[in-house]
A and B are shown apart, each in its own frame.
Chain A
Amino acid sequence: MEKQEIIEKINNFLVEEFELDPDQLKPEALLKEDLGIDSLDFVDIIVIIEKNFGFKVKGEEMVNVKSLNDFYDYVAAHVSQ
């Protein structure tokens, strides 16, 4: 899966499932501080990643995912494995 496709898929579920405004989805945006994604939302993100990208997130790995860009990179790294 190409990086751009991953970005589009992630942005899509953030807009569809999390009801975020597409204009908010800048790569440098911080998930927690800028996008308001809280600890319970991360629990839902684990389910959505499994459905969309077919791998299971380990909770401890998400600790280092701060920005949207980190998130794209994290998913891209796992998808290419």
Chain B
Amino acid sequence: MNRVVITGIGAYSCIGKNIEEIKESLYQGRSGIGFVQERKDIGFRSALSGVVERPNLKGLLDRRLRVGLPEQGEYAYLSTLEAMNNAKIDMDFLQQNEVGILFGNDSSSKAVIESTDIVREKKDTMLLGSGYIFQAMNSTVSMNLSVIFKLRGINFTISAACASGSHAIGMGYLFIKHGMQNMVVCGGAQEVNPFSMGSFDALSAFSVRESEPTKASRPFDKHRDGLVPSGGAATVILESYESAVKRGAPILGEIIGYGFSSNGEHISQSTVDGLLRAMRMSLKDAGLTPQQIDYINAHATSTPHGDASEAMAISEVFGTCKPLVSSTKSMTGHECWMAGASEIVYSTLMMQNSFIAPNINFEEPDEYSEKLNIVSHTLNKNFDVFLSNSFGFGGTNSSLIVRKI
């Protein structure tokens, strides 16, 4: 079995367009949430969203490579470029080695809706152009990035709702651990356009604290009233320890545990049993006891039911050892398909820079969160091991454990 390490990270999110900006936002406890009038105008119940600026890739990528890229693909291109630079990987390396890609993505709504509207209006599919098909498929991110970066290894997309990015990293870990790949570009991407979130808004799952956007996402707080949708992309380059050492690559952490489960219950509501089984499986895979986890980056999205379930599951698994807990979604909102990957990036940044980012807006605990050791203000602290939770619709759960080496 190979050891699996992280040699590059990159992200493009509502709290920063690169890891330097993001590190600063995490440390400062800065929210990336805003009020988006366009959502109100088209009938959203909640106009709150992570605010992510669309990049202009003209000049960076030629036209043919841009035409098939949807919004989240543009974010993922930038996060991957950053991660590759950090990992000291160039195009020569990519052409000489079989590098894989496993990205989390679970929708590409804008391209689907726009292309359907055009055909309805023009009644001629020949007037769609060449880009929509490559933008509209769920595999759009892995499809486009594998062409842009000329990747020659494993190549597919993981669609697992809000656990997509986490499972993508889990899959990459397994491929490398079992010797089937030496390097896999993992990550998650999430579109932010209103089309992608209308049907989610319909569930009344979003916070309506529109008068105070930066206070709307308040995981574990007693007065939370729902999540705030968000997006962007994050990339985590996984590599075998042997390959990383041979290349002299920076080693930012080691993936030592991956646990997963399916609730087998409700389509949108989590269960304590499913969550705790994923966490216990990751601990077993890592060969660690609960006492050895220093920090938990919680999935907690700020929904009343979801956060309570996770708080109960953490309490049951970790009992009296009470590791530090925070949900960075308090600042970023819920980055959905991207979240499992971005939260590995955020937690790795914290571990490298010796701080725990705050669970902002945690002002009053409820009966479940009062049993956790929640970090509500930035904590300067050196730590060695973290666990990151991600849960999704359909009851898909993923827990990853990373340690410093």
Please list the residues of chain A having a beta carbon within 8 angstroms of any beta carbon in chain B: 17-19, 38, 40-41, 43-44, 46-47, 50, 56-57, 59
Contact = CB atoms under 8 A, between A and B. Distances in A.
B127 A38 contact: no
Contact of A47 (B62, B64, B128): B128
B126 A59 contact: yes
Contacts of B171: none
B63 A19 contact: yes
A14 B62 CA distance: 14
B124 interface: yes
Nearest to B62: A19
A24 to B, nearest CB: 14
Contact of B64 (A41, A56, A57): A41
Contacts of A56: 124, 126-127
Nearest to A39: B130
B139 to A, nearest CB: 18
A2 B129 CA distance: 27
A44 B133 CA distance: 12
Interface of B: 62-64, 67, 124, 126-131
A78 to B, nearest CB: 15
Q: Which 7 pairs, one residue from A and one from B, show the smallest C-beta to C-beta distance?
A: A43-B130, A40-B130, A47-B129, A44-B129, A19-B63, A44-B130, A47-B127
A79 to B, nearest CB: 18
B370 to A, nearest CB: 58
A77 to B, nearest CB: 19
A40 B126 contact: no
Contacts of A41: 64, 130
A57 B126 CA distance: 9
Given A44-B67, A46-B129, 20 more contacts: A17-B63, A18-B63, A19-B63, A40-B67, A40-B130, A41-B64, A41-B130, A43-B126, A43-B130, A44-B129, A44-B131, A46-B126, A46-B127, A47-B127, A47-B129, A50-B127, A56-B124, A56-B127, A57-B126, A59-B126
Nearest to A36: B64
B210 to A, nearest CB: 39
25 contacts: A17-B63, A18-B63, A19-B62, A38-B64, A40-B64, A40-B67, A40-B130, A41-B64, A41-B130, A43-B130, A44-B67, A44-B129, A44-B131, A46-B126, A46-B127, A46-B129, A47-B126, A47-B127, A47-B128, A47-B129, A50-B127, A56-B126, A56-B127, A57-B126, A59-B126
User: Among B67, B130, B131, which residue has the most Cβ atoms of chain A within 10 A?
Assistant: B130
A44 B62 CA distance: 15
Nearest to A51: B127
A6 B129 CA distance: 21
Contacts of B131: 44
Contacts of B63: 17-19
A39 B335 CA distance: 36
Contacts of B62: 19
Nearest to A50: B127
A19 B62 CA distance: 8
Contacts of B67: 40, 44
A56 B123 CA distance: 12
A18 B63 CA distance: 7
A19 B57 CA distance: 13
